[in-house]
Structure 1
């Protein structure tokens, strides 16, 4: 099998992101992983809803993973709603009550608590939709032509 076709096992956070993405599709949202809204931040999952809603979902696979995340509050200004995605073994009482909560595994998810809505300003929404579209297009091109697309970050 060619090296660019080797399937690597998913890490725990990636499994959560996959389940979240599958569940969000049932709500007519599309999602991308590892989007950079601004320098120094990288969200695990960004979802775009049918009415232009922008959600950020941070996937946490363990207590240590959550406690080492010092940047999550910086994500709030880049979305309409913010969620944590965790598995059934995660100590959910660690998560702030004023954030959304999604219970997920590698195959599906369930929204347990909606994150409070804080609507983006129109200019910020436009920027995020553009970033989302470009990120999705780059990922799609990389999937079609991995050797070529790698040279263009």
Structure 2
């Protein structure tokens, strides 16, 4: 994994510099899950009203992983909603950097070590398969969100309503 302050050719220094630490972690997670595991990823995805994941990843076989990015002890301790995500995924991970105190992270969850360029699965998450109806609804919501984001990116001045 690269160092957060060592920019590589092609990296947009201004864009990376404007990112919050958790956003840099999410960037590395998305890069890793996409390139190494074939996942399609959405950042800041809402599986249901009142929840917003840092990264939701849809795998090649329809599996769903949720990754919450925590940049500090205070960031982790202020997260009171994480258990609500468990019913919306097959595997749940925390993404942290190498300096994060991993002993804080609950057993029964996965750990991904990340930076802005890459990540590695440090502790696999146990699998708890979602029910078929929930998987279908979540996959449809994921697809609609991805399509809407693409449409808005291609035509930022347009709004559906």
Q: TM-score, normalised by structure 2?
A: 0.86
Instruction: Spell out structure 1 runs of 4+ moving beyond 4 A.
Output: none
SS where residue 111 of structure 2 aligns? strand
State the Cα deviation string for residues 58-97 of structure 1 (Å, max 9, x = none). 0001111000000000000000000000011111110012
1:42 deviates by: 0.5
Note the aligned Cα RMSD (angstroms). Answer: 1.5
1:127 deviates by: 0.7
Matched, 1:44 2:51: no
Counterpart-to-counterpart distance in 2, 1:80 and 1:88? 25
Which residue of the partner structure matches residue 143 of structure 1?
Answer: 153
SS where residue 116 of structure 1 aligns? coil
SS where residue 52 of structure 1 aligns? coil
Which residue of the partner structure matches residue 32 of structure 2?
Answer: 23
Which residue of the partner structure matches residue 13 of structure 1?
Answer: 22
Q: Which residues of structure 2 form unaligned runs of 5+?
A: 1-13
Q: Which residues of structure 1 form unaligned runs of 5+?
A: 1-5
Aligned residues: 146
State the Cα deviation string for residues 114-153 of structure 1 (Å, max 9, x = none). 111000100000011011101111111121122224x65x
Q: 1:90 to 1:7 in 2, by over 3 A?
A: closer
Matched, 1:87 2:93: no
Which residue of the partner structure matches residue 68 of structure 1?
Answer: 78
Q: TM-score, normalised by structure 1?
A: 0.91
1:7 deviates by: 5.1
SS where residue 134 of structure 1 aligns? helix
Counterpart-to-counterpart distance in 1, 2:124 and 2:145? 26
